[in-house]
Amino acid sequence: MTSDDEIQPYLVYRSSGRQMECALWAVESGPKCLALFLTAEAADRYLDNAGLRPVWKSLRPAKPQLLTILEHCLQVGITHAVLEPDNDQARRLFDLQQVLDAARADDRGASG
């Protein structure tokens, strides 16, 4: 993955004290996936359609924070993310380990 391939997604989340919980989307008869959105409008539409307001909000984390969130997802057994999910489908499925590996390789290339 090069910087040209990277997206800067929005997440849907809620906070409880110092904990942050991100919205998950379930692949039919498959794993739960982290929900990602290309725009604030798409994230807000998801919030509205799912009736998650006002407790849930959208956030566009900086790359270091996003990578930390993805690492935490892997640690708790969430191995995939989906782009632009709705009630029925998502645009794309991502393997979080592959995303993190590519980001690390890209960071090593940029620093070397």
Average pLDDT over residues 85-95: 87
Q: How confident is the model at residue 2 (pLDDT cuts 50, 70, 90)?
A: very low
pLDDT tops 60 at residue 41? yes
Stated pTM of the model: 0.87
Q: How far is CA 83 from CA 18, 39, 95, 105, 109, in A?
A: 26, 11, 12, 22, 26
Q: How confident is the model at residue 32 (pLDDT cuts 50, 70, 90)?
A: very high
Average pLDDT, the chain: 89
pLDDT tops 90 at residue 86? no
